[in-house]
Amino acid sequence: MIKLHLFDIEGTTTDINFVHKVLFPYSKKHLSNFVLTHQDTPEVKNAIKDVRRTVKEEENRSLDNDEVIAELNDWIAQDRKHGALKEIQGLIWDVGYKNRDFTGHIYPDVKPFFENVLKSGAQIGIYSSGSVHAQKLIFTYSDLGDLTPMISYYFDTKVGGKREKESYLNIAVATGYEPTEIHFYSDIAQELVAAEAAGMAVTQLLRPGTQVSQFSGISRF
User: Where is the domain boundary, 48, 79, 98?
Assistant: 98
Q: Give tens-digit pLDDT for 14-59.
A: 999 999 999 999 999 999 999 999 999 999 999 999 999 999 999 9
Task: Determine whether 39 is exposed, middle or buried from the number of CB atoms within 10 Å of its CB (0-12, 13-18, 19+).
Answer: middle
Could you tell me if 86 and 127 lie in one domain?
A: no
If asked whether residues 86 and 123 sit together in one domain, one would say: no
> 193 and 174, same structural domain?
yes
Q: Do residues 92 and 119 both lie within one domain?
A: no
- Give the number of other CB atoms < 10 A from CB of residue 87: 18
pLDDT at 79 over 90: no
Domain co-membership, 131 together with 110: yes
Domain containing 30 equals 19-98
Task: Of 211, 208, 209, give the one whose Cα is nearest residue 220.
Answer: 208
Which tens digit of pLDDT belongs to each residue from 150-203?
Answer: 999 999 999 999 999 999 999 999 999 999 999 999 999 999 999 999 999 999
Asked if 119 and 94 count as a contact pair (C-beta separation under 8 A), the reply is: no
CATH number at residue 43: 1.10.720
CATH number, domain with residue 180:
3.40.50.1000
Residue after which a domain boundary falls, among 98, 118, 150: 98
pTM of the model: 0.89
Number of domains in the chain: 2
Same domain, 90 and 117: no
Q: Which amino acid is at 141?
A: Y
- For 133-147, how does the pLDDT look when each residue is reduced to its tens digit (9 = 90+)? 999 999 999 999 999
Domain boundary among 98, 128, 147: 98
Statement to judge: residues 126 and 213 lie in one domain: yes
pLDDT band at 130 (very low <50, low <70, confident <90, very high): confident
